[in-house]
A and B are shown apart, each in its own frame.
Chain A
Amino acid sequence: MIPVNRMTYGLSSWARIAGLGVVALLTLGPVIWTVSTSLRAPAESFDLPPQIIPSAPTTEAYSQVFAQIDVWLFALNSTLVTALIAVGQMITAGLAGYAFARLEFRFKKPLFGLVLATMMVPLQVTIVPVFLILKSMGLTDTLLGLIIPAWPTAFGTFLMRQYFLGMPKDLGEAAMIDGAGPWRIFRSVYAPLAAPGLAIVGVLAFNYHWNEFFRPLILETSTDNFTLPLGLVSLQGNLGTGSVSVVLAGVVLSMIPAIAVFAVGQRPLREGITSAGVNR
């Protein structure tokens, strides 16, 4: 029976692989086009047919990006914002997740419910008051105004709580019998085991905030505080449709860190995205 199955599957699985290949090509096509067009001379970048390998590759578009906008500054802003948010979220989510998982205190359930409920609230519903609160703190048009409100993370807290709940309880109890206090138990027993969970929180935060557009668009008004996505859209605005390859070179530059994270942290990223859905 099994060999027969395999034979009948031979043909249809080739068709399946072909179908999957077409979708994969359509998925990666725009990215490949972006990279190869960014390597064409700006003057001919909109010429058809598109070239997968440019006939006369040049990095002229890249030098023009650096001439047109302050890429280094935008990249520095993006890096600062993203890194500080990611580290901040790992700290707040790690601590709160541990408290909800392993510490006993009053109002634990309602507090956890409150934190979870905020996952349901869309950003756009709160953005006007958040803007006004930040304005009263003098934080609009500053990078801190992007960073601080992003520190509390309901999803990260939830994820870390699950993570700590998954660790054996005996470890903490053994340490308690040895006379360790609550802080020592956290510091020397559980915290060292939390790294993989924290990696998921960090990678997700990095990916989300590196690409973030809506909040920077509203909060950052002076060009000096632009992050890369804002800078790129303004690059397109400055140039119109004249030199596509210059805009695309900018897009490629902004993609590099996201692609690096994809390459290195694909696993935590995938796990994070999946649990983001499954545990909702």
Chain B
Amino acid sequence: MTTTQHRAEAKAAVRKPEPRPSARERGTRLLAALFLAPTVIGVLVFTVVPIAGSVVLSFFHWNVIDSPTFAGTDNYRAAFTDDTVLVSFSNTLVFMFFAVALQLLLALVLALALDNRLPGWLRSTFRSAFFFPLVLSAASISVVMKYLFNQEFGVINWLLGHVGIDPVPWLTSEDSAMAAVVLVYVWQQFGFSFLLFVGGLNNIPKEIHEAASLDGATGIRKHLAITLPLLSPTLLVASVVGIINALQVFEQPYVLTDGGPGDSTRTVVMVIYQSAFEQLRFGEASAVGVLLFALILAVTALQFRLSRRFVHYQ
């Protein structure tokens, strides 16, 4: 036998494993199955099956007590004609727009202001302060804010009085209730986008800034021309997550205004909650839920589409 033959045989032996899986491979597969079982079974039972269930339920009338009756597209037609449902969608979109815009703007300005020319202890103090509200419960914060926004006795109107602004009927007027809900939400949430931006800014190589400074770019012009395009992947993430979260707003309007006055702060999730668990109209609630899911998917898809044009990856 020549050496080449030897080599060829050795190669063939390496290339072709025995047809039956080895004990090791079987062991690996068994271990994988055991390790994955809790997560995969859990995801199937508590997410995949319920999504299918929601879609099915949305074509039925059901109040849990009587047996369900087929409803065709009644629930969807009702959703598109019911004033409360319609207004809840427009409220949610208005809320989303202002909440996300404010949250991103505030977070961006703060993250840019907190650059490394500030002493380290000051940066970490500010960073902790901005991110602190995130660890609190939205429900109990809303309880607190309800007192602060009180028209007669609230601290906010008291402070505004000092700069000559008349008491605002924050939570009791259809014109201002949504503004209060947005402010409370942004107060708690801007820290999330802030943390993302701080992380994103840290990833921009220092040399780029130095080069820009040498070329004479300073201040806002430098940020607009250089920082923002480089930060655009982070901006995309922050806005996608911000929008998805804002579309699901519930605790703040539930505690602050209970959807009122009138329907002025009623959001989609409040409608889902109320029609399912207060009025036992599970079919209608499911139809609204499916519509909300569709809206979230559509907004996310749109955003990624737009981003292909505007986001610069390094």
User: What is the total of A-B residue contacts with beta carbons within 8 Å?
Assistant: 266
The answer, among A9, A105, A213, for a CB contact under 8 Å with B138, is: A213
Chain A, interface SS category:
helix
Chain B residues near A212 (CB-CB < 8 A): 137
> Do the beta carbons of B132 and A27 come within 8 Å of each other?
yes
Distance of A114 Cα from B49 Cα, bound (Å): 13
Chain B, 178-229, CB within 8 A of any chain A CB: 187, 191-192, 195-196, 199
Taking a contact as CB atoms under 8 Å apart, the answer to whether B28 and A104 are in contact is yes
Question: Does the CB pair A91–B147 fall under 8 Å?
Answer: no
Q: A172 to nearest B CB, angstroms?
A: 11
Q: Give the bracket for the number of chain B residues in contact with chain A.
A: 35 or more
Question: A99 is contacted by which of B32, B150, B234 (Cβ under 8 Å)?
Answer: B32
Contact A125 B293 (CB under 8 A): yes
Please report which residues of chain A, range 109-136, place their CB below 8 angstroms from some CB of chain B when the two chains form the complex.
111, 114-115, 118, 120-133
With contact pairs A93-B39, A120-B300, A126-B50 given, residues A274 and B27 touching in the complex (Cβ less than 8 Å): no
Docked Cα-Cα span, A99 to B32, in Å, equals 5
Complex contact B140–A254 (CB within 8 A) = yes
**Given contacts A122-B292, A125-B290, A129-B57, are A31 and B143 in contact (CB under 8 A)?**
no
Q: Which chain A residues have a beta carbon within 8 Å of chain B's beta carbons?
A: 9, 13, 16-17, 19-20, 23-24, 26-28, 30-31, 33-34, 46, 48-50, 91-93, 95-96, 98-100, 103-106, 111, 114-115, 118, 120-133, 149, 151-154, 157, 181-183, 186, 207, 210-214, 217-218, 228-229, 232-233, 236, 241, 244, 247-248, 250-251, 254-255, 258-259, 261-262, 266, 269-270, 273-274, 276-278, 280
| Chain B residues at the A interface, C-beta cutoff of 8 Å | 24-25, 27-29, 31-36, 38-43, 45-51, 53-54, 57, 106, 110, 113-114, 117-118, 122, 125-126, 128-141, 143-148, 150, 153, 155, 158, 187, 191-192, 195-196, 199, 234, 237-238, 240-241, 244, 247-248, 250-251, 255, 269, 272-273, 276-277, 282, 285-286, 289-290, 292-293, 296-297, 300
